Amino acid sequence: MTNKESNRILWTQGLSRNFGGLSAVGNVNLSVKSGELLGLIGPNGAGKTTLFNLLIGLTKPSSGEVYLEGEKISGLKPHQICRLGMIKTFQNVALFPEMSVLENVLTGGLLRASVDEATVLAKDSLRKVGMLEIANKKAADLTFPEKALVEMARALCTKPRVVLLDEVMAALNETEMDHVLDLIKGLRDQEGITFIVIEHHMRAIMNLCERIVVLSFGQVIAEGTPLEIGMNPEVISAYLGTDTTAGELH
Amino acid sequence: MNTKFAPRYYTLALFILLCSIPWLLTDQGYAIRVLTLLLLFAAMAQSWNIVGGLANQISLGHAAFFGIGAYTSTILLIRFGLSPWFGILVAMLLAGLTGGLLSLPTMRLRGHYFALATLAFGEVMRAIANTWSSVTGGPVGISVPFSPNAGLEMMQFKSTIPYYFIMLGALTITSSIFWKISHSKLGYELRAVKANVDSAEVIGIDTTRTKIIAAVISAALMGACGVLYAQFNFFFDPDSAFSLVGISIRVALICIIGGIGTVFGPLIGACFLLPLEEIFNAFLSGKGAGYSQLAYGVILIIIILLEPRGLTTLFKQAVQRIKP
């Protein structure tokens, strides 16, 4: 095993998922290093969220495998994968609306702790994301940026090794976005958490990520540093459309 | 600190009041009988509340577990002379097992589909009890034999008052279990499952296991209530023990009207619905068939339209308005 391979925390082999005749994710071979900040971008409908769901077990692959820290996890249920250390946040935020912020976050701690211990963990997670002062608010009453941060705190409360963030920065203003970017970098630096981030906001992704993977029609069409990706003609055509890709759409 | 402990005092005061009712209502045999059934139905609604309230799975088949409980202890008593106190354990085991097995195919169903599947299961159990005459006695029903050494050890009494306290005990136990669960790990997990199954799974909750455990506890407690009913009423048949309207729907209604998912909802709902039924039956049954059901239905619809979260919420809102 080469040094590069031993350092990777998550990888996939020929990961594919078809919905009917449509290939939502096709033959994706992803390799993520431990502690990496990886961006996942692509046009709408490129299969980014489906890829996340395949990784955490919400969707079963049609073929291919997922490995987390050397262990095959494809076929496991999401709660088992969460126990092994990988979690995602939902694109439109999926808090439990009737619960308070604190209860939401502590529920994330219950897989490794009692209610009392999870409450302590939850307060700690809320402090990390800067949301401790709204701990007693009802989740349904939060603004979208608050909800996004609380869901991140809930994810942290499960003590993850790999966190998949699905458009956590959508609908944030510039200041809020800077806060989240610092937060993610801080968590990576201090706790060694690996992040894969789906984001449409290019400034955020270029600023945050060390490497970017571009999906289009379920396929990886490019991979590289933000600079390389920004100048890749295939990526530009995938986003802006060419005659051929526009033709495929119809 | 005061506000935090106040509910405890209210609960204690309520418990003392319920304990003293038989002495406040001496020579009121009919009233005590109605109250005894009221407490039993509140206990049944509390058992239902564990699945219906915490996980929001509206079961319309809980009569299945009630009937299993009633038949199990009565058959053990008739065939083997076993005390219902032992029968209640077997009944809880069987009802819990049935509840767990039923949850395997139904747990993926949501809303109306879950309600319909459980409703069908309750009806199937009624059909089985009607046709399996060699065990259940069939449609003619089954009588609990009055034991010569009646008393506490056979759970048989000549007076209604001991039954009243047994039912009060049942309500206290089911309510304590509900309270304990709703503040435990399982309670958080159930509320997470209720809000969003995918999200609950992703944050590490074994949603399948959570649903099965809740179903087993709820069914086992319902089975125990069936045993108590058999001992209190001394007679039942498949159509009453597995009754869709009389047990399954009524228990769900009590909880929904009282306040689904709240610890006092079942008692409040039972205190409202059962006397209402009695009053309508007494005053309207002479006026023509169906009037009492019509009026009953209209009142339920008004309450649900007024406040879907039930009387507990209506009451809280009223208190908030009165408070300065």
Cβ pair B204, A159 in contact under 8 A: no
- The better pLDDT of the pair A44, A120 is held by A120
B192, B195, B201: residue with CB nearest A78 = B201
Q: In whole numbers, what is the pLDDT of chain B averaged over residues?
A: 89
CA distance A87 to A94: 13
- Token pair, residue B229, equals 């009913």
Domain borders along chain A are: 1-85+160-171+193-250, 91-159
pLDDT grade for B50, boundaries at 50, 70 and 90: very high
8 Å CB contact of A96 and B199:
yes
- Cα separation of B66 and B41, whole Å? 11
Question: pLDDT grade, residue B301 (50/70/90)?
Answer: confident
Q: Do A78 and B195 touch (CB under 8 A)?
A: no
- d(Cα A95, Cα A118) in Å, to the nearest integer? 17
Asked if A99 has any chain B CB less than 8 Å from its own CB, the reply is: yes
Find the helix packing angle between B250-259 and B311-322, rounded to 10°. 20
Give the least confident one: A19-23, A125-129, A195-199, B279-283: B279-283
By Cβ distance, the residue of B185, B198, B203 closest to A154 is B203
Kind plus residue range of the DSSP H or E element containing A225? none
Count of structural domains, chain B: 1
Residues paired with residue A220 on neighbouring β-strands, in sequence order: A215
Higher pLDDT, residue A243 or A63: A63
On whether ipTM exceeds 0.90, the answer is no
Helix (H) or strand (E) holding B309: none
Examine the pLDDT at B80 and tell me if it is beyond 50. Answer: yes
DSSP string, A155-206: HHHT--SEEEEESTTTT--HHHHHHHHHHHHHHHHHH--EEEEE-S-HHHHH
Question: Which pLDDT score is estimated for B122?
Answer: 95
Burial A124-146 (b: 16+ CB within 10 A, else e): ebbebbebbebbeeebeebeebb
CATH number where B50 lies: 1.10.3470
pLDDT single digits (tens) B262-285: 999 999 999 998 888 888 777 776
Residue A82 banded pLDDT, cuts 50, 70, 90: very high
C-alpha distances (whole Å) from B160 to each of A4, B73, B112, B144 are: 79, 20, 39, 16
Tokens representing B7?
Answer: 């509910």
Model confidence over B89-104: pLDDT tens digits? Answer: 999 999 999 999 999 9
Q: How far apart are CA B239 and CA B66, in angstroms?
A: 12
| Contact residues for A154 (Cβ-Cβ < 8 A; gap 6+) | A95, A104, A105, A107, A108, A125, B203
| H/E run at residue A232 | none
Q: Is the dihedral of CA B313, B315, B321, B324 positive or negative?
A: negative
Q: What string of DSSP letters covers A105-145?
A: HHHHHTTTS-HHHHHHHHHHHHHHHT-GGGTTSBGGGS-HH
* Direct distance between the N- and C-terminal alpha carbons of chain A, in angstroms, rounded to an integer: 45
Q: pLDDT digits over A20-42, tens only?
A: 888 899 899 999 999 999 999 98
Amino acid letter, A87: I
Give me the pLDDT at residue A5, please: 56
Residue B81 neighbours by CB distance under 10 Å: 10
| Predicted pLDDT at B319 | 80
Residue B307, pLDDT > 90, answer no
pLDDT at B36: 93
- Percent pLDDT > 90 in chain A is 68
Residue A198 · residue A167 · CB < 8 Å: yes
Q: Which residues are CB-contacts of A101 (< 8 A; sequence separation ≥ 6)?
A: A126, A131, A134, A135, A136, A137, A138, A139, A142, A150
B237 by DSSP, 3-state: which? Answer: coil
Q: Return the number of other C-beta atoms located less than 10 Å from residue B92's C-beta.
A: 26
- Residue range B63-76: mean pLDDT, rounded: 96
Q: What is the 3-state secondary structure (H, E, C) of A42-72?
A: CCCCCCHHHHHHHHHCCCCCCEEEEEECCEE
Measured distance CA(B87)–CA(A195) in Å, rounded: 57
CATH number corresponding to A1-85+160-171+193-250 = 3.40.50.300
| pLDDT of the residue at B151 | 82
Mean pLDDT for chain A? 89
- Give CA–CA dist B188/B223, Å, rounded: 25
Residue A88 parent element (H or E): strand A86-89
* CA closest to B261 among chain A residues: A98
Q: Which residue of A has its CA nearest to B189?
A: A107
Please give the pLDDT value at position A247: 39
The residue-averaged pLDDT of B147-160 equals: 81
Q: Report the pLDDT value the prediction gives residue A250, as an integer from 0 to 100.
A: 37
Asked whether residue B71 carries a pLDDT value surpassing 50, the answer given is: yes
The rounded distance, in Å, linking the Cα atoms of B297 and B309 is 17
- Rounded to two decimals, the pTM is 0.87
How much of chain B is in helix, strand and coil states, percent to nearest 5? Answer: 80, 0, 20
What residues of chain A lie within 8 A of the CB of B195, using their CB? 95-99
For the stretch A206-228, pLDDT in tens is 889 999 999 988 999 989 998 88
For B46, the 3-state DSSP assignment is helix
A–B: how many Cβ contacts below 8 A? 74
Whether the per-residue pLDDT at B149 is higher than 90: the answer is no
pLDDT of residue A165: 94
Which contiguous run of DSSP H or E holds residue B310? none
Residues of A (161-190) whose Cβ lies below 8 Å from B:
none
**Mean pLDDT computed over B29-41:** 91
A242 and chain B in contact, CB less than 8 A:
no
pLDDT: is B24 or A60 the higher one? A60
pLDDT number for residue B317: 82
pLDDT digits (tens, 9 = 90+) for B204-256: 999 999 999 999 999 999 999 999 999 999 999 999 999 998 899 999 999 99
Among A1-10, A85-94, B169-178, the range of highest mean pLDDT = B169-178
- The residue type of B314 is L
DSSP B124-186: HHHHHHHH-HHHH-GGG-EEPPPPTT-BGGGTB-SSSHHHHHHHHHHHHHHHHHHHHHHTSHH
Query: Structure tokens of A249?
Result: 């759409």
C-beta separation of A64 from A13 below 8 A:
yes
User: Nearest-CA distance from B108 to chain A in Å?
Assistant: 14
Residue A121, C-beta contacts closer than 8 angstroms, at least 6 positions apart = A106, A109, A113, A157
Q: What is the mean pLDDT of residues B289-297?
A: 73
Domain of B227, in residue numbers:
2-322
Between B1 and A2, the higher pLDDT residue: A2
Under 8 Å between Cβ of B92 and B164: no
Query: Among partner residues B185, B199, B202, which is closest to A110 by beta-carbon distance?
Result: B185
